[in-house]
Structure 1
Amino acid sequence: MNCPFCSNIEPVLQNDLSIAFYDIYPVNKGHLLIIPKRHVEQYFDLTIEERQAIDSLLFEGNALLDKKHKPDGYNIGINNGEVAGQTIFHVHVHLIPRYKGDMKDPRGGVRGVIPDKRTY
């Protein structure tokens, strides 16, 4: 297996079952990825314990980024499957800090994965 998330990760936060680290291609300053330590391709294949561990790091990451970067909001996202944009097949949750002015019109948020559906 040649998974970039299964080696050479420098954790920013971690617990028994999950790790948080900075995205090497960040959407915004502070963009974190949170993954299970166990190699699992799809979110729906995680155990309840792994989902709870990831959720715990989402909250810890939120507190860390609030203190360090003071964002004005967040997007939380998971690409589950190739058709949904997943390119690394190890579950990863994006915690993306958002800042006023980082996008002209942020309305629609994650709906922007299909640009024509973002505004309604």
Structure 2
Amino acid sequence: MDNYFDLTFREQSACVFMLNYVKELLQKKFKTDGFNIGINIGTIAGQTIHHAHIHLIPRYRGDVDNPIGGVRGVVPEKKDYTPSEK
């Protein structure tokens, strides 16, 4: 399968189950403060390896100067924003 959307619903569900499992392992072993999850689909979106895979990226307090915006950083004008008050 070239990407996540080519997977069956059952396979996608298994991916989510595995994300949760690996997240717990990483938190216990490396004492992470947060995570980013990314799936690149298509060359235009940055996919360079054409098989289904998911990036689970452990994050730590202070690992970047300004984490606000998280994965929005792939669109530079969307990265820095002020969340609206609720």
Matched position secondary structure for 2:27: helix
| Distance (Å, rounded) in 1 between the aligned partners of 2:39 and 2:31 | 23
| Distance (Å, rounded) in 2 between the aligned partners of 1:72 and 1:115 | 24
The alignment of Structure 1 onto Structure 2 pairs a total of residues equal to 81
Unaligned runs of 5+ in 2: 82-86
Runs of 4+ in 1 over 3 A off after TM superposition: none
Unaligned runs of 5+ in 1: 1-39
1:93 paired to 2:34: no
| Distance (Å, rounded) in 2 between the aligned partners of 1:84 and 1:47 | 21
The normalised TM-score by structure 2 is 0.90
Task: Report the Cα offset of residue 116 of structure 1.
Answer: 2.5
1:48 paired to 2:9: yes
Higher helix share: 2
The normalised TM-score by structure 1 is 0.65
Matched position secondary structure for 1:101: coil
Higher strand share: 1
RMSD value over aligned CA atoms? 0.8
